[in-house]
Amino acid sequence: MLEAKRRAAIFLLLAFILAAVTGYLVLEKVKELNAELGGMTSIYIAKGSIPSRTPIDISQVTKMDIPNKFVTDSHILSEEEFEHQVSIVPLNPGDIITKNMIKPVSNLQDAKNRLVTMYRTDKIQFDQVLTALDRVDIIVSTNENGKKKTEVFMKDVLVAFAQGTNDNFSGIAVEVTAEEAPRLIHMQNYAEHIRVLKANVGQASSFGDALDKSNGKEELKEEPAGDQSEGQTDGSAENEAESKEGTTDKTEKSSDQKSDDSGE
């Protein structure tokens, strides 16, 4: 009886030791796998059904954690990336949302207008980083039959949206009329060089107003001096004329007196 109990105790002790060793090995393996996966990152998935071509509301999405090893640049990691965006495909609950599945909302000022994208290339150059609602001038350089020409192709064009910011800026979409869109696309395809300049309309107009005001003040200051000089000139001329008339009258009177004396 005692021998049986002793054997049972030994088996229980061995089982405990083996379970502890197994647990330790499993824990180490899990740590090793987690180290290889690089932790967890939250990405966004559809919380419910999201129709295509409709603005995405933040309440329509939710987060899901996946290992860092499987996170790519196409995954959406911030709520800000959903601002003013629509899905180009219908989404079902649980679908992972990636950047190539969404696009900016098209808010055109006129239904007859069109959006034309202009991305930075060797041919197309942007002088400044642009943002939505900026206005630009488009300068083109062409070479027709050996005749080179650079001119303002379009002026004060509205920027509907910009792609990227700061160092990641890559291009813009401009809003033009349906008639202007083919001309702009033609220039993008065949012009030698296109340069996009930011139009600082507000600063230019205020600067011009300041110049006009300053010039107006200078003119107002000069006018009194001019009037006085003219008045003095006119007065002196009148005095000279009066003096001449007085002299003439005196001469005539003296001649009349002489003639009277001689007659007597």
CA 104, CA 175: separation in Å to the nearest integer? Answer: 14
- Over range 186-212, report the average pLDDT: 71
Residue 226 reports pLDDT greater than 60: no
Please compute the mean of the pLDDT values over residues 245-258 and round it to a whole number.
49
What's the pLDDT at 249? 52
Architecture of domain 40-104: Alpha-Beta Complex (3.90)
Judge whether residue 35 has pLDDT over 80: no
Q: Can you read off the two tokens belonging to residue 218?
A: 């200078």
Backbone angles phi, psi at 203, to 5 degrees: -65, -40
The average confidence (pLDDT) of the chain is 78
Domain ranges of the chain: 40-104, 113-199
pLDDT for position 68: 84
The three-point CA angle 11-15-18 to 5° equals: 140
Q: Say what the pLDDT of residue 145 is.
A: 87
96 to each of 41, 45, 70, 85, 90, how far by Cα in Å? 13, 4, 13, 16, 12
Q: Mean pLDDT over residues 163-170, rounded?
A: 87
Say what percent of the chain tops pLDDT 70.
Answer: 73
pLDDT at 121 over 60: yes
| The predicted structure's pLDDT at residue 201 | 56
Q: What is the mean pLDDT of residues 197-216?
A: 52
pLDDT band at 109 (very low <50, low <70, confident <90, very high): low
pLDDT number for residue 154: 95
Confidence of residue 260 (pLDDT cuts 50, 70, 90): very low
Q: Tell me the pLDDT tens digit for each residue of 57-105.
A: 889 999 999 888 888 889 999 988 888 888 888 999 999 999 988 887 7
3-state secondary structure the chain: CHHHHHHHHHHHHHHHHHHHHHHHHHHHHHHHHHHHHCCEEEEEEECCCECCCCECCHHHEEEEEEEHHHCCCCECCCHHHHCCEEECCCECCCCECEHHHEEECCCCCCCCEEEEEEECCCCEEECCCCCCCCEEEEEEEEEECCEEEEEEEEEEEEEEEEECCHHHCCEEEEEEECCHHHHHHHHHHHCCEEEEEECCHHHHHHHHHHHHHHHHHHHHHHHHHHHHHHHHHHHHHHHHHHHHHHHHHHHHHHHHHHHHHHHC
pLDDT per residue as tens digits for the range 6-27: 778 888 888 889 999 998 889 8
* Amino acid 218: pLDDT: 38
Q: Is the pLDDT of residue 212 over 70?
A: no
Q: 228 pLDDT exceeds 60? A: no
pLDDT number for residue 167: 85
Give the global pTM. Answer: 0.42
According to the model, what pLDDT value does residue 151 have?
Answer: 95
Q: Which residue has the higher pLDDT, 165 or 64?
A: 64
Query: Does 132 have pLDDT greater than 80?
Result: yes
